[in-house]
Structures are given as C-alpha cells and as structure tokens.
Amino acid sequence: MKLMTGNANMVLAREIAAYLETSLTDAAVRRFADEEVFVEIHENVRGEDVFVVQSTGYPANDNLMELLICIDALRRASAKRITAVIPYFGYARQDRKPGPRTPISAKLVANMITAAGADRVLSIDLHAGQIQGFFDIPTDNLYAAPVMSADIKARFGDRNLMVVSPDVGGVVRARALSKRLDNAPLAIVDKRRERAGESEVMNIIGDVRGRFCILIDDIVDSAGTLCNAAAALRESGAEDVVAYVTHGVLSGGAVARVDGSALHELVITDSLAPSAAVQASDKIRLLPIAPLLAEAIKRIADETSVSSLFD
C-alpha cells in the first residue's frame, strides 16, 4: 500500500500516514509558470495499491485538477488500484437540477474522477447520499458521527443534551447522532431560505428550554444558517448552543460571523485545511479525522469490512 497527496491538506495526509506507520509517496505536485498543474512521482508504484488523499475545497478547481492529474499519473505508472480519498467532496451541493438549464455538477465531477482512472472513492459525510450512485466505481461514504459523539460525551456528557437539526433536510443526520448520545431528544429549526447563501429562521420544532443544544450539520459555508439557528435557540430558552459540523468551508466573513454569534463553540473536523482566521478564532475548534480515514484506508487495503467501523 502507498499513500500519496496533493497540496490541499498536507497536514491531514501526514497524520494519516503517521497513524498507518508509513510515509507519503515521494512525488512533486507543483505549478508551471502559467499555473498548469504538473505531477511527477519519484518512486516505483507499479502493481501497488495507492491511496490519493485530496480534498476538493477552496480553491476547488485547482485542488480538483491536482486530484485528477495525480490519478492519471498513477494509472500511467501502472498502479494496480487507485483509491481517491476525498475527505471533502466539492461540488456536492450541486446534486440535482433545482431549476431549468442548471447543471448537476456533482455527477460531472464523479465522471471526471472515474475517467481519470480511479478504481474506488472514499469520502466523509457526502452532502447527499445519492452522490454515491453518481460513481460507477465502488464508493465508501464514512460518517463523522462516531468521532463527534465521542467528543460530545467527553466534554458535555453531564449536560441536559438535545440534538438539533438546523433544517428539515438534516433530520436523518441529527437522529443518527441522537441515537449515539443515548437517544437524546431531537429538535428541528424550521427556516425559509429567500435566496442562496441567506436563511431566515422561522420557528423551533421541539421544547429546548433549559437544554444544552447540539446543532449538527455536514457543511458550514457562510455560517448564516448556524448563527441564526443558535440565536433562535437561545431566544427559545436553550441553556447554551454548540455546533458540530463535518466540513468547515467557512468562506467570506463566516469566521467573523461565528465569533459574533450566540454559539458557544463551533467544532469542525480537519477534512479541510483550516485558514489562518479559523486557527485564530476562539470559538472554532478542530476535531481530528485522520484516525477514522486511516482505519478505513487500512481496511480497504486489507479487504476487510469498512461498515463495521460504525457498529
């Protein structure tokens, strides 16, 4: 087995390699003067089982091209099997046609990864479960819920917990976390979205008075939904509000919005490399995801069950 990475999240790749007690494949992923991506592998990978770790977050197009060219380089170097390990799968929010003459970009990206030569895909908390079906190759969708629930129990296990979904679409995710927290009660934030990137909280479904609320979501981008939900929960009598989100995209002024919000804390995984603003924030904490990814990689390489990770 060999482990290779692009430039999207070198720290995460090194942590995965350390967990697996191996080293990263010696390769150069760099740019020509005109910003074209160039990949050169400096060691033999013929007949090897290679895992390419590369999130496709900001800058999404650059990181996606790095992934595709790494896969192509490995295929042309006669790697036996290539697994694209994509902790954060970019373009996942474009998973359907919300209106006429719009693309399904998640399917296009899936086709590109397959055409480049990937034999398998490994990701965490895909925005929509049906994205697994966009690939014509085996696709494993891991869940951050076990890591999050362990952290919640360790830090807030003695509190009067309630799991909250920030919208109706996230109820399944919230219910799964609730079961891991000894069937903690569930609440839902009912909101109306006037336009993309903006949300207006309407009401809270469930009694949150005196509860320590855990907001759970897969992606935080502008953080508007989370911050509005936290404010609404506090106004409804919640004792405090902590948000657990798998992918901390946090674009634009999101970090400043979180810092000034009613949230006690925002916990995100390191599926995306944290920006300087995220690292400087007192309200944002990183939750390591490398052990989960490394264990899944090990099981895929050993041809053993990945789903048993979540039993």
120 is in an annotated binding site: no
303 is in an annotated binding site: no
83 is in an annotated binding site: no
Distances (CA, A) of 263 to 63, 84, 138, 165: 31, 35, 38, 15
Active-site position among 2, 179, 191, 298: 191
127 is in an annotated binding site: yes
Token couple for 200: 């207006």
H helix intervals, 117-159: 145-156
**CA–CA dist 87, 246 (Å, integer):** 10
225 is in an annotated binding site: yes
35 is in an annotated binding site: yes
36 is in an annotated binding site: yes
193 is in an annotated binding site: yes
Judging by beta carbons within 10 Å of its beta carbon (0-12, 13-18, 19+), is residue 4 exposed, middle or buried? buried
Token couple for 135: 């690939």
| HSE of 140, CA atoms in CB hemisphere, 13 A | 24
Is 191 tagged catalytic?
yes
Residues 6+ apart with CB under 8 A from 270: 9, 11, 12, 286, 287, 288, 289, 290
Q: What is the CA radius of gyration of the chain?
A: 20
76 is in an annotated binding site: no
222 is in an annotated binding site: yes
Residue tagged 């039993």 (tokens)? 311
The 10 Å Cβ neighbour count of residue 196 is 9
Catalytic residue set:
191
Give the residue numbers of the binding site for ATP: 34-36, 93-94
Give the residue numbers of the binding site: 34-36, 93-94, 127, 167, 193, 217, 221-225
Give the residue numbers of the binding site for D-ribose 5-phosphate: 193, 217, 221-225
Give the residue numbers of the binding site for Mg(2+): 127, 167
